[in-house]
Amino acid sequence: MKTLYRFSLVLLCLTTISYHRVSAQGCVAVRHMSCTSPLEALSVGPSAGTASTNFFKQRSGHWQVNVGYRYFRSFRHFKGDVEQKERLEQHTEVVNISHGVDLGLTYLATTRLSFSINLPVQYNDRSSLYEHYGNSTTANPEQRRFHTGSQGIGDLRLSGSYWLRNPTKGAKANFALGAGIKLPTGNPGVEDNFHKLNREGQDYIVRKPVDQSIQLGDGGVGFSLEGQGYAQLTRGLSAYVSGFYLFNPRETNRVLRSPEATTIDLVTGYFSVADQFAARLGLSQTLPIVSGLSVMLGGRVEGVPANDALGGSKGFRRPGYIVSVEPGLSYMRGKFSGTLSVPVALYRNRIKSYSDRLDPLGQRHGDAAFADYLVSLNVSRWF
């Protein structure tokens, strides 16, 4: 019984490790998708013993349904790693509020091989001054703020993962390699109403694409490479690591940012189809006071590069990255498991984009809004 108990706790922590969501945390548009497929980390250390073997004999060939929820509110503007505090003081900040639900299905083909499908469903709201009447008191005397938004499905992802060592052998450490394909099922050109003022001070509406940060998809077919692993340090303490890189070879998605403009900027006139990345490293500790409960603490980095690894890098993007500390809790009982994590931003950097770097004077440097934290809640059940 003790062996089974330890196995369940370690399994749960590793479930928490693998069920990582790459999530947009502001204007740095990291797409909603699964970084590594749920329950791919079904591996335990030597303390599992016979329980591990029995578990995989029972679970091999089974399915798991996964549902995840995410929330964030971004509002702090950064240029480089310097916060533009005047935006909050002047109340000209851009506010993005995002709610996302990830629907996933995993098939454990063998004790080492699993396949997953994940589809995000999103609700995004964005409020600003500059996109409508403007930030200045001259253009916008009443400092009126208006909202745009997007709702619907995001980009579908299919993935597979393979453990290098047999999880039933009770190894102290293991590592899994994975690959996936991202399909452009999310609309990359969602439109909404933008408010403008004519010369007589009368309000009129312009219909055009919403900001890239709240678009439902990026419009390109991409592929990902990822890895995740663990090492059991003591009976109840494990170290974990995971990494992910999404390659988006397509340069732009041909969604015109400002269709009302008289000329088209050949560099930033269309939305870029950008790469993205994420990595995590941390520790997970079982809590014997409650059966099935564990706690974890780690570091996390995620972001968008200025230049893609494959293909061109033109198009509009806000590259940058976020470094966070990520505390979390997980719980498992029977066929059910749940995890809660709240990554809190420690460092944010809006790096120079491809277009910024074309400035011969080297002075151009766009900004981006970031969130202070992200809330992620996930539940899973075997069938």
DSSP assignment of 135-167 = SSTTT-TT---EEEEEEEE--EEEEEEEESS-G
pLDDT per residue as tens digits for the range 3-48? 433 333 333 333 333 444 455 567 775 655 443 333 333 333 333 3
Q: What's the N-to-C CA distance of the chain in angstroms? A: 23
Residue type, 315: G
Q: Provide the percentage of residues in the chain whose pLDDT is more than 70.
A: 85
Q: What is the DSSP letter of 213?
A: G
CB atoms within 10 A of CB 121: 16
pLDDT at 86: 97
State the Cα–Cα distance between residues 240 and 281, nearest whole angstrom. Answer: 6
Q: Comparing C-alpha atoms, which of 255, 301, 296, 305 is closest to residue 275?
A: 305
Question: Rounded to the nearest 10 degrees, how much is the dihedral formed by the CA atoms of 49, 53, 56, 58?
Answer: -120
Q: Comparing C-alpha atoms, which of 184, 326, 178 is closest to residue 244?
A: 178
CB atoms within 10 A of CB 360: 6
pLDDT at 22: 52
SS3 221: coil
- H helices of the chain, in order, are 2-18, 50-59, 86-89
Structural contact between residues 337 and 331, judged by C-beta atoms closer than 8 angstroms: yes
292 confidence band (pLDDT: 50, 70, 90): confident
Residue 120 has pLDDT above 50, yes or no: yes
pLDDT at 55: 43
Ordered structural domains, the chain, with CATH: 2-382 (2.40.128.130)
Structural contact between residues 180 and 158, judged by C-beta atoms closer than 8 angstroms: yes
Higher pLDDT, 104 or 290: 104
Question: Rounded to the nearest 10 degrees, how much is the dihedral formed by the CA atoms of 5, 8, 12, 14?
Answer: 110
pLDDT at 377: 97
pLDDT per residue as tens digits for the range 337-367? 999 999 999 999 999 999 999 999 999 999 9
Please return the burial class of 60, using the count of CB atoms within 10 Å of its CB with bins 0-12, 13-18 and 19+: middle
Q: Which two tokens stand for residue 110?
A: 């063998």
State the Cα–Cα distance between residues 301 and 199, nearest whole angstrom. Answer: 47
Which distant-in-sequence residues (6+ apart) come within 8 Å of 142 by Cβ?
A: none
**pLDDT mean over 187-195:** 98
Structural contact between residues 378 and 67, judged by C-beta atoms closer than 8 angstroms: yes
Most confident region among 165-179, 250-264, 304-318 by mean pLDDT:
304-318
Helix H or strand E encompassing 65: strand 63-79
Helix H or strand E encompassing 99: strand 95-108
pLDDT at 25: 66
**pLDDT mean over 47-72:** 65
Structural contact between residues 214 and 28, judged by C-beta atoms closer than 8 angstroms: no
Q: Comparing C-alpha atoms, which of 214, 199, 106, 108 is closest to residue 157?
A: 106
180 confidence band (pLDDT: 50, 70, 90): very high
pLDDT at 23: 54
Q: Which range, of 125-129, 193-197, 264-268, averages the lowest pLDDT? A: 264-268
Higher pLDDT, 52 or 62: 62
Average pLDDT across the chain, whole number: 87
User: What distance lies between CA 221 and its chain's CA centroid?
Assistant: 17
pLDDT per residue as tens digits for the range 226-284? 999 999 999 889 999 999 999 999 999 999 999 988 889 989 999 999 999 999 999 99
Residue type, 3: T
Helix H or strand E encompassing 128: strand 113-128
**Does the predicted model carry a pTM greater than 0.75?**
yes
Residue type, 64: Q
Q: Which two tokens stand for residue 33?
A: 């998708």
111 confidence band (pLDDT: 50, 70, 90): confident
**pLDDT mean over 312-321:** 96
pLDDT at 126: 98
**pLDDT mean over 121-133:** 98
pLDDT at 170: 78
- φ, ψ of residue 3 to 5 degrees: the values are -65, -45
pLDDT at 44: 35
User: What distance lies between CA 128 and its chain's CA centroid?
Assistant: 23
